[in-house]
Structure 1
Amino acid sequence: MRAIRSLALALPLALIAPMVVQPGTARADAGATQMGEDGEKNYDFGLKVRIELRMEDGTTVKHRGDMRTMGMDWRFEFDGADHHHVLVLNAEGKEGDKVMPLTLSYERDGMDVIAPYKSDWKTRKRETLWTTDGKLAIALTLIPYKFEHEDKSRDDKDKIIGNEGEDDDDPLGGNLFN
């Protein structure tokens, strides 16, 4: 009789014990996604870009930006010297490259000035591209850098927390715990 009572208590505990252990294991796995296999943080490779435009009248317009993913078009829009400038860059490269293939196009005030132009650009060195008439120049400095990989596993967190009171007819809107 005593063995049956012990079995009746031990069986539910045996079924619950794995559930108690699982949450701790899941938290350890979540931390591992931010760390690489060798224990270092995961980094992505990108470029810091220094842009300088020399206008026809000799004035210079400067802009700085980041290209965080290689192989994508990065659009840099800025104002200067009474004009609206749009420069689109696309660099193909990987960490450690000294020279990168780069495609650029430039428009000013909605008019194309330089159609997509492809060339190899040295990293960490200021390189200049002049228009055929020699009046306008674009100087670029590409500086490679590593940035910490962003964890996007909870992109919905801001949407849930940040929308308090915005939509009155939403059954999940507002604070549910009041």
Structure 2
Amino acid sequence: MSEKKTYAFGIRKKLVVFVTLLAIVTYTFSALFMYYLYPAYFSHINEMVFTIATLSLGIFWSGALAYFAASYFVNPIVRLESAARSAAAGRIEQEVELPKSDDEIRALGVAFNEMLANLRTMVQSIESNFSVTNESVRYIAEISGQAAKQADGMALTAEEISGGAESSAHACRQQQRRWRM
């Protein structure tokens, strides 16, 4: 087993950067609305209502951005799941498409592709061994058939010899009876 690989910009760091950028964007826009736009354009609205509306929109904005950004992490995993289901169904000829970034998801895809390559090698080895074994079985069956034919021939010859011996014995007994008479 290989050592644990570290990534310069792995998933953990990507999530930290994403959440940090999301917080910067959300809080910057919230501050912009509450401290600059409210006094200039919305001072006729109750400050508490405006603050709640601004924070609510910030929550919605954060959720929407997180939803769309999640596809960056989820799509490679979905492709890997699809390839795993195909392999589980016996279709091991394909390989999973690897993401371009060097992170844990790519490493998982590389490991999965290596596993599929090893499975293909094992299947080829099994098929090769099956062919060799099948040829050996055919050869043994052929030799056994020939041996059975030879055994049948030997049995027939033995029966003929036995029959001939009985005939000779019978003839000898008859000759002996004639001499005694």
Question: For this structure pair, what is the TM-score category when the shorter chain's length is used for normalisation?
Answer: under 0.3
Look at both structures and tell me which one has the larger radius of gyration over its CA atoms: 2
TM-score, normalised via structure 2 length: 0.24
User: Which one has a larger percent strand, Structure 1 or Structure 2?
Assistant: 1
